[in-house]
Structure 1
Amino acid sequence: MKSGILVYDIGTTSVKSALFTGTGALAGSVSKPYKTEYPQPGWAEQDPDLFWEAAVLGTRELLASPEAAGISVEVIGLTGHMNGCLPVDARGQPTHRELIHSDSRSTVQCDRVRSLLGEDAVYRKTGNPADEHLSLSKFLWLKDEQRDAYNKTAWVINSKDYVRFKLTGILGTTDFSDASLTGMLDLAGRTWAWDMIDALGLRRECFPTIRSSIEREGGLSGEAAEILGLPAGIPVSYGGGDGSCATRGAGVTGPGEAYVSVGSSAWTSMLAPEPRFDPLRRMQNFFDLDGHSCNVCGTTQTAGIAVDWALGLLFADISDTPEQYRAIEKSLEDIPIGSEGVMFLPYLMGERTPHWDAAARGVFVGLSLAGNRQTLLRAVYEGVSFAIGEIVDIYADLSMPIKTFTLLGGGIRSPFWRTLICDIAGIPMRVHPFPTHAISLGAAMAAGVSVGLWKDLEEAVAQINGFEQIEPDLKKTGQYKRFFSIYKGIYRNIKPIFNELKSAGTDSIPKT
């Protein structure tokens, strides 16, 4: 029997159960989808029990597949979406649905954090700007608006921590990567920012114990083993947030190596030996899987989900198949660069880097009777790609030169989109050999190191090979620069309108 690593990746749209061999090769995977609820504009919630149900169904199907034959699961790894707020009681029962990363309802609470603690002080301590998308203000919202749920809460954790509890029965723990992207961790002290927590009146006992992602937390419980069809006692690693797992899964080992992961959202990251503080507070810092190095990261709040939204509106009459997607994207090649003068801001749920503005919203500019649905869709693709380009430019401001740039995530399966990103950035890039599984691979690396399959993360990363190199069309890069400049000016000019819409109360109107 070959040694195997079973990984659960709790994503925005599904749980991916993946099986890797002891050499880091992908043997097979199964995805089980679930819904995100959007009760009001800016709200995004998920039922944590659906994470576990999807993991169980995926595991059973995966283990019964031909790909799993001859592989013995030696360790279980975990990863999941970050900066959420998943409150559970002392028995592990959720007291409220998780407010996931894209939820931005906590504007009032975020304003209180800024006013009471100071924006610069928060950034210097946590490496992250005070923002509605981070866990801190979401937990404050729970305290203010759902007091009964808050009083019943024993721990506030993240998605992969909940699934790990279901696997082991151990509750009240997290890892450094997830903890550092809550907006509540003192990066220098590598502990919770107790002074901030006390000043905001939050209960200290709700904050979990923190461990490195490459450590083990017990073994698979008998109850979970029976449900999954696995032997009891299999070691379970602490695992890491999807951002940190993506970094190692992308093949990053140190400074100069960048990547972008294009999924429902998109984030661009580089690894540094310590936090890199941006004077303009545009970038985030969160710990690597080793619990010491730092990811210096910028996030585009709506990426693949913006494209899916546009496809649903503009091409609802076309069947949802890979062949149809390719045909649609092929038709976009007939639309000239700049989408015939139509531009799109992809701020459908606010924006993080570089604006950190929960009031921002999606905008089409330059519409005319000459446009068609292909024009609008290409503008969406270009708008998200420009948003990624804005983040790439910040690294130059921080004196962080890029030597290699890796593309990964579900959006990178599109040849059209990855070429677009490369041309806009104007730098050579490489496509991950299995772009939709790079995050799971990072979690597998952490799990493998936890049981000695690899001596460290660097040895694990060395197993990756088969990258596809792509080069930018520099003529197109030059053409995009003009539109990129216009794109960056749109937000500056219409920001007051976003604030007026917010004041008008549009986000308080429930969906009908």
Structure 2
Amino acid sequence: MSANAYVIGLDGGTGGARALMSDLDGNVVAMATHEYDTTFPKPGWAEQTPSDWWRAACVAVRKLIVTANVPVSQIWSICADGTSSTLVALDEQGEPTMPAILWMDNRASLQARRMLQTNDPALRRTRLGVSSETGIPKILWLKENRPDIYRRSRWFVEMADYLALKLTGKLTLGHNQITNRWFYDGRRGGWPERFFARIGLDGITERFPSTILPLGAPIGRITPEAAEAMGLSRETTVVCGGTDAYVAMLGLNVCAAGRTAFITGSSHLVLPMTDKDIEVPGIFGPHPDCVIPGLFVMEGGQVSSGSVIRWWHDHIGKALKPGEDAYAAMMREAAEIPIGADGLVALDFWQGNRNPYTDYDLQGAMWGMTLKHTPAHMLRALVESVAYGTQNILQTLADNGVPIETMVICGGATRSPFLLQMHADVAGIPIVVPKVLEATAFGSAIAAAVGAGLHGSLVEAAAHMVREETVVAPDMAAHRRYAEVFSYYKDTYQALHPLMHRMARRGEEAPAAEDVPHPAAGHVSA
């Protein structure tokens, strides 16, 4: 092991690329970011441009190297993770045939429902519903709705695989993401070919790269072109990454049975590590060997959590608080509102529900409005809805024999003492805050160290490099008050989900805007 070795973790996030450099003891030397855009062509759709990812990644790494002031000869390896279930379609030359379909895009809800109706054994890790966010429903949607693009698409990969391709020139699939998102099960024969044929994707695995690598495995040397674009040495080793949140488990040292990661950001994820092959209705998993060989990961997630708060900030908060830190100001006012928001109840299903309902026809809601209520009340109710969504997952796990006693957190919520305390109070459990809060990029750096042979295993590297900073203890009196409002949250779902389904069917039946004749286009109106 070199005393002067450094590694880079590259996180392809929802809002931009984040690069982090660490030494082998877990000391972060520098971080850099560069943003890219998301477009929303239709309600429920979300797309990004893969070339934007690569451009942002190169800018972020170049800025990182300048900030760190470390000789590039001492940077041994780089590993890239990506947002989960962001589908990339590539032609024969490895160029995208269309914009990437972002993880939060739920256009494939109909295909996901049809897949569930097969009741195929391949669905054992998603019994209550197939997530329309995941890659296979999106590929099926593409075949059925954009056959021309489907025919031109030789390969299908995820965001992390695309970044690995740009770094190495090699087409690979990460074992991590195909296990937790593409129905791959290495313990049960790999790809479920018969299931794919049943849903109309016969032969689809021929369009998946045949090289499948585990998290932390070396892919090869960086290409000269990528090295020049990033400012790295041509001797840099590129290491296989995976799904962002699962890679973050390394950055939180959630590498042993009984430990749980709590990933917060645009979406929230609760990821318990277990040594038991146990199914929990409404929770995805258990996903075998996709982070640590021999162990399983359970997954409960919220599609829109931090993104709901971001929406409020962008459309309302900045207008209400011009000329100051709108985020801090609006959260400060929300914190002054009492628990329960004086009778306002909200649902956090703005892009559907991933767990425990796995229903992408659900929408956000708020009720209880009176003339007493202010925008601060509304924000308080929205923030509480996010915490109740997390508690709904934790309760589902506990009711099925997987109690969560503590969680190690990372992501956006760590920047707000108000949000941290609310999550601890609503859940009624301690939340551990690590020293390095950017656990996803840090997890990729840990994987990079292992792939370059600088640490012996992912377990060893995480134990050596990750350190805990503080523990947020729950206020159990507040927990009891939140529990009453949480019951309203669950009852609101029960009352409204039939109406939401009716609205979703109405949206499916309405003609798309571009299909409606317009007089200006040369049509004659009556």
Normalised TM-score (structure 1): 0.94
Q: Which residue of 2 is the match for residue 192 of structure 1?
A: 191
For residues 321 and 297 of structure 1, the distance between their equivalents in structure 2, rounded to whole angstroms, comes to: 40
Shift of 1:127: 7.6
Letter in 1 for 2:456: K
Residue 440 (structure 1) aligned with residue 418 (structure 2):
no
Preserved contact between residue 265 and residue 300 of structure 1 (Cα < 8 Å): yes
CA deviations over 1:199-231 (Å, ceiling 9, x no partner): 333223112232111211111011111111111
Change over 3 Å in CA distance of 1:126–1:314 after alignment to 2: closer
Q: How far did 1:434 drift?
A: 2.4
CA shift for structure 1 position 60: 1.3
For 2:146 and 2:418, how far apart are their aligned partners in 1? 45
1:310 to 280, 300, 312: 312
In 1, distance between residues paired with 2:74 and 2:322? 36
Match among 394, 398, 401 for residue 400 of structure 2: 398
**How far apart are 1:449 and its partner, in Å?**
1.2
Whichever residue aligns with residue 181 of structure 1, its letter is: N
1:429–1:107 distance in 2 versus 1, CA, 3 Å: closer
Specify the alignment match of 2:385 in structure 1: 383
Alpha-carbon distance, 1:454 to partner: 1.2
Q: Which residue of 2 aligns with 1:502?
A: 504
5+ residue gaps, structure 1, are none
Flag the 1:64–1:507 CA change in 2: closer, same or farther, 3 A.
farther
Deviation at 1:53, TM superposition (A): 0.4
For residues 427 and 247 of structure 1, the distance between their equivalents in structure 2, rounded to whole angstroms, comes to 19
Partner of 2:97 in structure 1?
95
What one-letter code is carried by the residue in structure 1 that aligns with 2:440? I
Given candidates 349, 360, 368, the residue that maps to 1:366 is 368
SS at match of 2:299: strand
Corresponding residue for residue 457 of structure 1: 458
Q: Is the 1:28–1:67 contact (alpha carbons within 8 Å) kept by the matching residues of 2?
A: no
Match of 2:284 in 1: 283
Choose from 237, 240, 260 the match for 1:238: 240
Which ranges in structure 2 are unaligned for 5 or more consecutive residues?
A: 515-526
Q: 2:303 is matched with which residue?
A: 301
Tell me the residue number matched to 2:86: 84
Matches for 1:347-366 after TM superposition, within 5 Å: 347-366=349-368
Q: What is the one-letter code of the residue matched to 1:61?
A: K
Q: TM-score, normalized by length of structure 2?
A: 0.91
Give the Cα–Cα distance (whole angstroms) in 2 for the partners of residues 64 and 10 of structure 1: 20
1:357 and 1:201 mapped to 2: Cα distance?
22
Q: Return the match for 1:106 from 108, 115, 118.
A: 108
Q: Is the 8 A contact 2:397 2:403 kept in 1?
A: yes
Change in CA separation of 1:70 and 1:228 when aligned onto 2, cut-off 3 Å:
closer
* CA pair 200-333 structure 1, distance change in 2 beyond 3 A: closer
Q: Distance in 2 between matches of 1:321 and 1:243?
A: 34
Change beyond 3 A, Cα 1:508–1:40: farther
The DSSP-based 3-state class of the residue aligned with 1:240 is coil
Size of the alignment, in residue pairs?
507
Partner SS, residue 105 of structure 1: coil
Matching residue's letter, 1:505: G
Distance 1:62 1:468, change over 3 A: same
Partner of 1:162: 162
For residue 150 of structure 1, report the CA deviation from its aligned partner.
Answer: 0.9
* Cα distance change, pair 341–105 in 1 and its aligned pair in 2 (3 A): same
Residue identity (%): 27
The equivalences for 1:23-422 within 5 A come to 23-66=25-68, 68=70, 72-115=74-117, 117-118=118-119, 121-124=121-124, 129-171=129-171, 173-186=172-185, 188-189=187-188, 191-202=190-201, 203-208=204-209, 209-278=211-280, 280-286=281-287, 287-317=289-319, 323-422=325-424
Residue 460 of structure 1 aligns to which amino acid in structure 2?
A
Rounded to whole Å, the distance in 1 between the matches of 2:89 and 2:472 is 44
Larger deviation: 203-212 or 12-21? 203-212
Pairwise CA distance, 1:15: 0.7
SS at match of 2:80: strand
**1:244 to partner: Cα distance:** 1.4
Q: CA deviation at 1:398?
A: 2.9
- Displacement of 1:66 after TM fit? 4.4
Amino acid at match of 1:328: M
Q: Aligned partners of 2:392 and 2:47: how far apart in 1?
A: 28
Hey, what's the Cα distance between the residues in 2 that align with 1:160 and 1:271?
A: 22
Which piece of structure 1 moves more, 446-455 or 283-292?
A: 283-292
Determine if contact 1:96/1:149 at 8 Å carries over to the other structure. Answer: yes
Distance 1:186 1:322, change over 3 A: farther
Aligned equivalents of 1:285, 1:47: Cα separation in 2: 32
> Structure 1's 309 and 69: CA in aligned 2 closer, same or farther, altered over 3 A?
same
Q: What is the rounded CA distance, in whole Å, between the counterparts of 1:359 and 1:137 in structure 2? A: 15
Q: CA deviation at 1:84?
A: 2.5
For the 8 Å contact 2:131–2:358, the answer to whether it is kept is yes
Instruction: Tell me the amino acid that sits aligned with residue 428 of structure 1.
Output: P
**1:317 aligns to what SS in structure 2?**
helix
Moved more, 299-308 or 66-75: 66-75
Secondary structure, in 3 states, of the residue corresponding to 2:413?
helix
C-alpha distance 304-511 of structure 1, shift in aligned 2 (>3 A): farther
AA of the residue aligned to 1:419:
Q
Alpha carbons of structure 1 residues 273 and 492: separation in structure 2 relative to 1, 3 Å: same
Where 2:8 maps in the other structure, the secondary structure is: strand
Cα 1:42–1:324 shift into 2, 3 Å = closer
Task: Return the offset for 1:68.
Answer: 3.9
Q: Deviations over 1:25-59 (max 9, x none)?
A: 21111111111111111111111111100001111
Deviates more, 1:284-293 or 1:494-503: 284-293
Where does residue 523 of structure 2 map in the other structure?
none
Deviation at 1:507, TM superposition (A): 8.7
Matches of 2:193 and 2:316 in 1, distance apart?
Answer: 49
Give the distance between the partners of 1:322 and 1:30, measured in 2 at CA: 24
Contact 2:126 2:284 in 1 (8 A): no
Q: Give the letter aligned to residue 207 of structure 1.
A: F
Deviation at 1:125, TM superposition (A): 6.3
